[in-house]
Structure 1
Amino acid sequence: MTHIALYRTWRSQAFRELVGQKPIVQTLQNSLREQRFTHAYLFSGPRGTGKTSAAKILAKAVNCVHGPAEEPCNECEACIRISQGSVMDVVEIDAASNRGVEEIRDIRDKVKYAPTEVRYKVYIIDEVHMLTTEAFNALLKTLEEPPAHVIFILATTEPHKLPATIISRCQRFDFRRVSMEEQVGRLAYVCREENIAIEEEALHYIARLSEGGMRDALSLLDQASSFAVGTIAASDVVAMTGGLASDQFEKLVGSMKEQDIGAALELIDQFMQEGKSADKCMENLIHYFRDLLMIRLVPDSSVLTERVFDVARLDQVASRFGTDQLIAIIEVLNQYQSEMKYSVQPQTILEVAVMKACGAIASGGGSRPAEAPPASRSAGEPEPEALSQLTRRIQQLEEQLAKLMQGGVPAAGAQQPARSPVAPRSSNAAVRKASVRLDDFTSAVESHHTRALLGKWTQILAMVKERKITVHAWLVDGEPVAIHGDTVLVAFKSAMHRDTTEKPANKQLIEQVISEALGETLKLATVMQKEWKEAREGASEPAREEMTLQAEDSEPDKEPWVDEAIKLFGEDLVSIKDE
């Protein structure tokens, strides 16, 4: 007989078999018992948590020959045929491939007809968030007031993409991720029924990799049973998924703690030679340090004990690190994991991240030394952690003050209002603004150079995105306004986007791309859109015109129209000349 995937074989066929969704099961069973089920349901939650299974079970429960009942019997013809998907009145629609308004109009036209085989017509619309706006509009009225013989069940992993008008017409149930304990229990039951021999540690590892999705866990178990020979060990699952075993992590972390960068890089190269992926190594390394941090902060947490198989062993590793060190390491690794997504050399990024993490360990981060218990300090002596933080803060302030002095900020003895040295932003903005004469650019708005720039700006953005997508994210907020001489002026809506674009590395990349696109060496200057708008308005003001009044055969001081002009325009704007 052809093998059927475990997640299909062991798909829940009754409410009691749904794993990890007890509140939802209880609510649905109570409504079925009291005959108070509604006309529209919305099942939302992560993938593989039982949304579609619950929808099919509900369809069987309301149409069971012995029902509507709390549980379908799964023995009558209606239950069996609904499980097989052969009942015309129970329709399962994939909204990802049937997302248009025509498909929804077809449903709307057919709901008015009574069911022919069972008690209720049930429409299960999976991935409903994929429907178009027009399709949602076509569904609205039918979903609000369907015929008495129709039930709609909408399932989605992204409920935030649904219009509020749709959500308000449904009874919503939020499925949660299945806990580690419940997953391990279900996997152990499936292994017993399928005669699969597996170690308990392997069950925990599979459950952890599935991240709360029961379907993913069963798929991994199915794959592991094909991979392993005999009993499935944790090492088999690690090798199959391309992950790292805990003892390998201990070696790597030990090398990082001892500042043995050479040994750490050799281990990373060994992982790559074994076929491990750099991004998976980075992800698992972050999880490992997170577990170390959790052990330091909440050693007896039930959340931690269900995630980690051997807590005592991990506690020995965690005792070698301070809390601040672990936080600094996680921040470094997380930063480089984001950059790894856009890198063509992920192994190099992983190696740099590990070296940077070694630097974070060396700096200490205010970690608590094991050999200096609190009792050894006098009452007035500051803790080493606070002292270290204070020292680093003073160094930062001194560096920032030196930069301000180089930028031309007066010394402390000058008659200037006191300013905080930690806020040089306004000074930088003032210097930058002074270096750009907007009058020169307002006169160049209509030049052929500016038109060439505007014509190629889309191409410039695309080239920047190819080289570094993070710089593109900041530059896309700007709008090119003019070219004057060898300088391109870009106006920004957001000050944060402008300041990030002005950073030397980012600015150099943008200038290089602009020069390549336009075929000449150009520099980048920035301005806020508000400042640019004010400059344009000032340039468009008409020039002052001089009005001349000529007198004939009379003295200027006796001319009535001169007095009238003074009354109208004021003495400052009227000048009397003798000719």
Structure 2
Amino acid sequence: MMAVAIGGSVITKGGSEMSYQALYRVWRPQRFDEIVGQSIITQTLKNAILTKQISHAYLFTGPRGTGKTSAAKIFAKAVNCHYLEDGEPCNKCETCQAINEGSLSDVIEIDAASNNGVEEIRDIRDKVKYAPTKADYKVYIIDEVHMLSTGAFNALLKTLEEPPANVIFILATTEPHKIPATIISRTQKFDFKRIRPADILERMAYILKQKNIVYDDQALKLIAKAAEGGMRDALSILDQAMSYGDDKVTYENALQVTGSVTNELLTAYIDQVIQKDTKQALVTVQKILENGKDASRFVEDLTSYCQDILLYQQDPQIIEQMELGIVDDKFKQLSDQISDNEIYQMINELNEIANSLRYTAHPDVYLQVLTVKLTHLQAKPAAPTSSTASSDEDGKIKALSKKVDELQAEITQLKAAGPVEKPVAAHTAVPPKSIEAKSTARVELTKIYPILGKATRKSLNEFQQVWPDLMNTLSVTQRAVMHVSKPVAASSDGVIVSFEYPIFFQKAQSNRELTDALENNLDRLTGRAPQIVFVPDNQWPKIRKDYLASHQDELKNRQHSGDAAADTPDTGSEATPPQDDTPAAKPIVKKAAELFGKDILDIKND
């Protein structure tokens, strides 16, 4: 009995319904041009097939739900299809249909999460020697390949080094940093990016139109944003919204399914915070909780909203391209009323509350405390209007001129009176330094110290030279985070990057995708894949000082044993006797010069 897929259900030829299939399974791409948001990758793969430049191994990396496994299956069909249409599989021949049904023995899918041992990979290595039975190529698709054990990777390496001519390996993973470099170097690597909300929105609208389902544009925009760049997640949420709304996708249904707060409530809350209206802000929070919204989701939405305002202030086009319908007149008005310093403070408070909400059974208390804190932040005064600006400036100029005249008169009197002895007990008052915002993210000293132990000025110069090129390889949002960063120390296998503002250090520290992008692109630019460690700029001097102080004995032993780095700058140590106690001859000073260069050192005797 034959079965066909209609909409989201599988119907037998007799007409009885067997089981429901999720949207992401029914609408899984069957051609390269159906894969959303990865046009560069799909075009490259099609060109490779058309020109017969097929590699023996590929590595597909990227976040979940971005099309890695789908692309692998389509590629397996395309290399074995005899009726290609502009590099696309025909999906009609016997081979294509067998791969679609999962019945072709020459295309083998392996889940590395449950088959991660040496024996499973050795079994592949033994069977890979046999020629395909029906297809032209035998294709092994290994999903979540980062889950393989060390022994399994070593067994796979042997096969990748000497592959048979008619075998193709496609490795897929969400965590490429866990894959040995020896494996990566033997594959063609393709980085699948998060899919833009606009592309997700377009795909969902197409599916719903094909199914003749009524939907609300605002609902699809909300789902597209909640999916966080994953098409599979978007279709899963859409499935839930359809079920909840009896095959109608409304804005209210999407809000219920995602747990999100309406954009109007978020805008009202931010407006009340800016206006210091604590009472109304608490009422808004209570309304959100009474509607059954998740407190953690509310904090995430607030953080995202603050980020959107910050990016909009820097470049309005970034948000207009990234977001869907968020930039309205009220949003523009709020972005004019709030300063970037206030946004930094708000995000710091939101981060602290987000951590606390994970371990509490009383989220309402934390949200109320958060609201009181946000409405009592020390904000910068709003810019004066054009009508009053000139008069205010005139008043300030007059007051300053009067003060200058008074000070000049006092100086003249003091000069006439002659020198006056200062009392012994008198002390000059020193204004307190401004307190830097505390960073909630933890500095990883266990990773920093090994880099400092091998750091040289030459390595730092190399990374500083390629840093502008590295920034150009990042996405717009990644550059927005990294634009206040710079490398401050480096060795051959690691680089320490400092951030001017703690909030951007926190965002970078928690963004694994950003770290992967930096390390992968550095590998392309320099031929090395160094470990990248982040530090806040305000903590870096102390970290550097503590390291040099705590490793004095080690540095002294290195000097006596003649162990010196090849890249160490010339400090005149060869011409200086070992018993020389001048500041420049001390091991800690030499190491500081080696790490950071002699041009920035200021040696002072205690």
TM-score bracket, shorter-length normalisation: 0.5 to 0.7
User: After superposition, what is the alpha-carbon deviation per residue over 1:378-430, rounded to whole angstroms, capped at 9, x for unaligned?
Assistant: 49969xxxxxxxxxxxxxxxxxxxxxxxxxxxx99689999997599xxxxxx
Shift of 1:106: 0.8
User: After superposition, what is the alpha-carbon deviation per residue over 1:177-232, rounded to whole angstroms, capped at 9, x for unaligned?
Assistant: 11122111111110100111111111111111111111111111111111124642
Match of 1:368 in 2: 383
Residues 149 and 67 from structure 1, CA distance in 2 versus in 1: closer, same or farther, beyond 3 angstroms? farther
Say whether 1:23 aligns with 2:61. Answer: no
Residue number among 188, 191, 194 corresponding to 2:211 in the alignment: 194
Shift of 1:89: 1.1
Say whether 1:35 aligns with 2:35. Answer: no
Match of 1:352 in 2: 369
Match of 1:332 in 2: 349
The residue identity in structure 2 corresponding to 1:364 is A
SS in 1 for 2:168: strand
Residues 374 and 90 from structure 1, CA distance in 2 versus in 1: closer, same or farther, beyond 3 angstroms? farther
Match of 1:285 in 2: 302
- Rounded Cα–Cα distance in structure 1 between residues aligned with 2:339 and 2:428: 42
- Rounded Cα–Cα distance in structure 2 between residues aligned with 1:131 and 1:96: 7
Say whether 1:254 aligns with 2:280. Answer: no
Residue number among 341, 344, 347 corresponding to 2:358 in the alignment: 341
User: After superposition, what is the alpha-carbon deviation per residue over 1:463-522, rounded to whole angstroms, capped at 9, x for unaligned?
Assistant: xxxxxx9999999x9xxxxxxxxxxxxxxxxxxxxxxxxxxxxxxxxxxxxxxxxxxxxx
- Rounded Cα–Cα distance in structure 2 between residues aligned with 1:83 and 1:299: 44
Residue number among 68, 71, 86 corresponding to 1:54 in the alignment: 71
CA contact (8 A) 1:62 1:68 kept: no
SS in 2 for 1:307: coil
CA contact (8 A) 2:308 2:319 kept: no
The answer for unaligned runs of 5 or more in structure 1 is 383-410, 425-468, 478-526, 535-579
The residue identity in structure 1 corresponding to 2:218 is E
CA-based RMSD of the aligned residues comes to 3.6
The answer for unaligned runs of 5 or more in structure 2 is 1-16, 398-421, 449-545, 554-606
- Rounded Cα–Cα distance in structure 1 between residues aligned with 2:35 and 2:357: 38
- Rounded Cα–Cα distance in structure 2 between residues aligned with 1:88 and 1:201: 45
Shift of 1:92: 0.6
The residue identity in structure 2 corresponding to 1:31 is A
Residues 56 and 318 from structure 1, CA distance in 2 versus in 1: closer, same or farther, beyond 3 angstroms? same
Say whether 1:66 aligns with 2:83. Answer: yes
Say whether 1:104 aligns with 2:121. Answer: yes
User: After superposition, what is the alpha-carbon deviation per residue over 1:510-566, rounded to whole angstroms, capped at 9, x for unaligned?
Assistant: xxxxxxxxxxxxxxxxx99988999xxxxxxxxxxxxxxxxxxxxxxxxxxxxxxxx
User: After superposition, what is the alpha-carbon deviation per residue over 1:3-52, rounded to whole angstroms, capped at 9, x for unaligned?
Assistant: 21110111000011111111101111111010001000000011111000
Match of 2:291 in 1: 274
Residues 17 and 533 from structure 1, CA distance in 2 versus in 1: closer, same or farther, beyond 3 angstroms? closer
CA contact (8 A) 2:223 2:258 kept: no
User: After superposition, what is the alpha-carbon deviation per residue over 1:157-183, rounded to whole angstroms, capped at 9, x for unaligned?
Assistant: 111111100100000000111112211
Residue number among 87, 106, 109 corresponding to 1:92 in the alignment: 109
Match of 1:238 in 2: 255
Residues 181 and 528 from structure 1, CA distance in 2 versus in 1: closer, same or farther, beyond 3 angstroms? closer
The residue identity in structure 2 corresponding to 1:147 is P
Residues 95 and 230 from structure 1, CA distance in 2 versus in 1: closer, same or farther, beyond 3 angstroms? closer
The residue identity in structure 2 corresponding to 1:148 is A
Q: Percent identity, please.
A: 44
Say whether 1:137 aligns with 2:115. Answer: no
CA contact (8 A) 2:196 2:322 kept: no
Residues 38 and 303 from structure 1, CA distance in 2 versus in 1: closer, same or farther, beyond 3 angstroms? farther
Shift of 1:340: 2.8
SS in 1 for 2:316: coil
- Rounded Cα–Cα distance in structure 2 between residues aligned with 1:136 and 1:381: 72
The residue identity in structure 2 corresponding to 1:53 is S
SS in 1 for 2:132: coil
- Rounded Cα–Cα distance in structure 2 between residues aligned with 1:472 and 1:184: 39
The residue identity in structure 2 corresponding to 1:143 is L
The residue identity in structure 1 corresponding to 2:26 is T
CA contact (8 A) 1:201 1:309 kept: no
Residues 216 and 416 from structure 1, CA distance in 2 versus in 1: closer, same or farther, beyond 3 angstroms? same
Match of 2:487 in 1: none
Equivalent positions of 1:112-511 (< 5 A) are 112-229=129-246, 231-301=248-318, 303-304=320-321, 306-309=323-326, 311-360=328-377, 363-365=378-380, 367-370=382-385, 378=393
Residues 531 and 219 from structure 1, CA distance in 2 versus in 1: closer, same or farther, beyond 3 angstroms? closer
Which has the higher Rg, Structure 1 or Structure 2? 1
User: After superposition, what is the alpha-carbon deviation per residue over 1:422-466, rounded to whole angstroms, capped at 9, x for unaligned?
Assistant: 599xxxxxxxxxxxxxxxxxxxxxxxxxxxxxxxxxxxxxxxxxx
Match of 2:22 in 1: 5
SS in 1 for 2:215: coil
Shift of 1:332: 1.9
The residue identity in structure 1 corresponding to 2:277 is D
CA contact (8 A) 1:46 1:175 kept: yes
SS in 2 for 1:290: helix
CA contact (8 A) 1:115 1:121 kept: yes
CA contact (8 A) 1:35 1:68 kept: no
SS in 1 for 2:350: helix
User: After superposition, what is the alpha-carbon deviation per residue over 1:337-370, rounded to whole angstroms, capped at 9, x for unaligned?
Assistant: 233334444332222222211122xx21354345
Shift of 1:248: 1.8
The residue identity in structure 2 corresponding to 1:277 is D
Residues 421 and 226 from structure 1, CA distance in 2 versus in 1: closer, same or farther, beyond 3 angstroms? closer
The residue identity in structure 2 corresponding to 1:123 is Y
User: After superposition, what is the alpha-carbon deviation per residue over 1:270-323, rounded to whole angstroms, capped at 9, x for unaligned?
Assistant: 322322111111001111222233344433446456433452342234344333
Query: Number of aligned pairs?
Result: 410
CA contact (8 A) 1:252 1:267 kept: yes
Greater CA drift, 250-259 or 172-181? 250-259
SS in 2 for 1:359: coil
Residues 132 and 380 from structure 1, CA distance in 2 versus in 1: closer, same or farther, beyond 3 angstroms? farther
CA contact (8 A) 1:325 1:366 kept: no
Residues 380 and 138 from structure 1, CA distance in 2 versus in 1: closer, same or farther, beyond 3 angstroms? farther
The residue identity in structure 1 corresponding to 2:228 is E
- Rounded Cα–Cα distance in structure 2 between residues aligned with 1:371 and 1:341: 47
Residues 84 and 381 from structure 1, CA distance in 2 versus in 1: closer, same or farther, beyond 3 angstroms? farther
- Rounded Cα–Cα distance in structure 2 between residues aligned with 1:206 and 1:117: 43
- Rounded Cα–Cα distance in structure 2 between residues aligned with 1:230 and 1:85: 30
Match of 2:512 in 1: none
- Rounded Cα–Cα distance in structure 1 between residues aligned with 2:442 and 2:50: 59
Residues 412 and 326 from structure 1, CA distance in 2 versus in 1: closer, same or farther, beyond 3 angstroms? farther
- Rounded Cα–Cα distance in structure 1 between residues aligned with 2:134 and 2:423: 90
Shift of 1:148: 0.4
Residues 58 and 265 from structure 1, CA distance in 2 versus in 1: closer, same or farther, beyond 3 angstroms? same
SS in 2 for 1:264: helix
- Rounded Cα–Cα distance in structure 2 between residues aligned with 1:303 and 1:23: 23
The residue identity in structure 2 corresponding to 1:30 is N
Residues 533 and 115 from structure 1, CA distance in 2 versus in 1: closer, same or farther, beyond 3 angstroms? same
